[in-house]
Amino acid sequence: MRNRMSSLWLACALAIAGCSRGDDLPPAPLLPGPGHAAYVTPEYRIQVGDVLSIRVLLNPELNEDVTVRPDGHISTSIAHDQVAANLTVPMLIRALTRSYRHYLRQPHISVIVKTVAPTAVFVGGEVVQPGQELTVGTAPTLSQAIARAGGLKMSADDKRIFIVRRGPNNTPVFLAAHYNAVQLAKDPRADVQLAPFDIVMVPRLHVAEIYRWYNQYLQQFVNPNFSFQYFLNPTTAGQNVISPGH
């Protein structure tokens, strides 16, 4: 029996290994090239919680530090309600220049990002350490977020992972995530870039759901040592009697 179980586990392991496409991948270089994303990052976009230093040349009385509000706007002594979140620094300078022209003939404005607010994403469900993850700067990718959460549990369904993202008017939307395509090296594009405040949900396997139902609703009422045994009762020779054994 033990040999049969060992053979079964070996067959399962070989079947899982056969699903991977790692043998088809090019070898990783010893050092990343100069054009690698680690060296060339996208232009930074201002986000909620950033502290910005607004400087007005020749008008130092208008210099001030402001914090991007939760609604993504900032308030200065001139621009009382200026959108800032998701803008680059040059974009915000142009927007502030237009507002300041109503009060100054030729405003020369500079914007300095003094403090970068951490980006928060949330990972829940069948991961080892669910919860909030904070990253300075750009939000992590899907695989990075799951790795920081300690990886998937054995009960996780990696084919049904989804993302909850806040859309227009703060409306939540569901997005499919193909994390299994990353695990099996099928599609690197499946390692999507998360957005601030995304929620990554890892559902439970159907098999794990069945076991949880069994454990919750059946096992607590049924003696786990209960079994049926067939034996020959001397008083009823020739008859098979079923009785519970412990």
Q: What is the pLDDT of residues 232-244, one digit of tens each?
A: 444 444 444 444 4
Mapped onto helix, strand or coil, the DSSP state of residue 94 is helix
Cα separation of 6 and 1, whole Å?
A: 9
Dihedral pair phi/psi, residue 113, rounded to 5° = -80, 105
Q: Which domains does the chain have, with CATH numbers?
A: 51-115 (3.30.1950.10), 118-221 (3.10.560.10)
Across the range 56-79, mean pLDDT stands at 95
Give the pLDDT confidence score for residue 33 in this predicted structure: 66
Angle at 192 between CA 51 and CA 128, to 5 degrees: 85
**What six digits make up the tokens of 2?**
């033990």
Across the range 222-236, mean pLDDT stands at 48
Across the range 176-182, mean pLDDT stands at 92
Express as a percent the part of the chain with pLDDT over 90.
52
Beta bridge partners of 176: 162
Residue 50 pLDDT > 80, yes or no?
A: yes
Higher-pLDDT residue of 181 and 169 is 181
Give the pLDDT confidence score for residue 176 in this predicted structure: 93
- Confidence (pTM): 0.65
The string of pLDDT tens digits covering residues 191-207 is 999 998 999 999 998 76
Beta bridge partners of 222: none
Residue 11 pLDDT > 70, yes or no?
A: no
Q: Which of 135-139, 158-162, 227-231 has the highest mean pLDDT?
A: 158-162
